[in-house]
Amino acid sequence: MRGGMGNMQNMMKQMQKMQKKMAEAQEELGEKKIEGTAGGGMVTVVVSGHKEILEVNIKPDVVDPEDIEMLQDLVLAATNDALKKADELTNQTMGQFTKGMNLPGGMF
């Protein structure tokens, strides 16, 4: 019976280590800057790893007062591109902690 308790304590220590590493990885993700683009780089959106929009850059050449809709579409496309890349980075970074665990789909 004694060996069982030792294993349980060891497992708890391992879980605490993993939780600490996960928290550190989450923090590092927030410091990352991910860039999304549209229109061949005419519109660029930068987001953090926590999916906060940090910057929106629009080249003057793409600004056409007669075609605001195109500019809106480019901003939307660049934003979605950046968010998709942020999701991929999050899955790649946090996925290392969930390998081999049967967690419900989409937790990370």
**Confidence check: pLDDT of 31 > 50:** yes
Q: Do the domain assignments include residue 84?
A: yes
Q: How far apart are the first and last CA of the chain?
A: 36
**Confidence check: pLDDT of 105 > 60:** no
Q: In whole angstroms, what is the distance from residue 39 CA to residue 41 CA?
A: 5
Q: Do the domain assignments include residue 89?
A: yes
Question: Domain tally for the chain?
Answer: 1
Q: Do the domain assignments include residue 14?
A: no
Q: pLDDT class for 1, splitting at 50, 70, 90?
A: very low
Q: Radius of gyration (Cα) for the chain, nearest Å?
A: 21
Q: pLDDT class for 3, splitting at 50, 70, 90?
A: low
Q: Is 10 helix (H, G, I), strand (E, B) or coil?
A: helix
Q: Do the domain assignments include residue 3?
A: no
* pTM score, whole prediction: 0.72
Q: Do the domain assignments include residue 32?
A: no
Domain that holds residue 81: 49-99
The pLDDT tens digits of the residues spanning 34-72 come to 999 999 999 999 999 989 999 999 999 999 999 999 999
Q: Do the domain assignments include residue 66?
A: yes
Q: Do the domain assignments include residue 62?
A: yes
Strand partners for 48: 33
